[in-house]
Amino acid sequence: MAKSAWSEKMLQLLRRMNNFSLPGSCRPECFRFEINDAQVGWIRPHVAPLLARHPEVFAPPHGGAVALRPGLDTYDRRSAAVDAVLQSMRQEDHLSCLKGWRDEYSVMPKFSDPPMMWMERAATSLFGVKRGGVHINGYTVSEGGEVSMWLARRSSTKQTYPGLLDNVAAGGLAAGVGVKHTLVKECQEEACIPAAIAEKARPVSTVSYTYEEEDGVFAENQFVFDLELPRDFKPRVGDGEVHEFYLLPIEKVKELLATEDFKPNCAMVVLDFLIRHSFIEPDTEPCYQEFVAGLHQTLE
Domain count, the chain: 2
- 51: CATH: 3.30.750.160
Q: Residue 115: what residue type?
A: P
Asked if residues 151 and 248 have their Cβ atoms less than 8 Å apart, the reply is yes
**From the CB of residue 174, how many other CB atoms can be counted at a distance below 10 Å?**
17
N-to-C CA span, the chain: 34
- Looking at the structure, tell me whether residues 14 and 146 fall in a common domain: yes
**31-35 sheet: strands from edge to edge:** 38-43, 31-35, 65-67
- Domain check: are 116 and 145 in the same one? no
pLDDT at 153 exceeding the cut of 70: yes
> For residue 259, is pLDDT > 70?
yes
- Closest by Cα among 194, 174, 175 to 184: 194
Domain match, 163 and 16 both:
yes
Alpha-carbon torsion 12, 16, 17, 22, what sign? positive
Q: Determine how many CB atoms are found less than 10 A away from the CB of residue 96.
A: 10
Q: Of 111, 129, 147, which closes a domain? A: 129
pLDDT of residue 103: 78
Asked if 193 and 169 touch (Cβ cutoff 8 Å), the reply is yes
pLDDT in tens, 118-130: 999 989 999 999 9
CATH number, domain containing residue 255: 3.90.79.10
Q: Does 214 have pLDDT greater than 90?
A: no
d(CA 48, CA 282) in angstroms, rounded, equals 45
pLDDT band, residue 76 (cuts 50/70/90): very high
Band of pLDDT at residue 93, cut at 50, 70 and 90: low
Q: What is the mean pLDDT of residues 155-169?
A: 91
Residues 148 and 168 in one domain: yes
Does residue 300 carry a pLDDT above 70?
no
**56 domain-assigned:** yes
Q: Where are the alpha helices (H) located in 143-282, listed in sequence order?
A: 179-191, 195-198, 250-257, 264-276
pLDDT grade, residue 102 (50/70/90)? confident
Task: State which residues form the domain around 33.
Answer: 27-129
Q: Are 289 and 207 within one domain?
A: yes
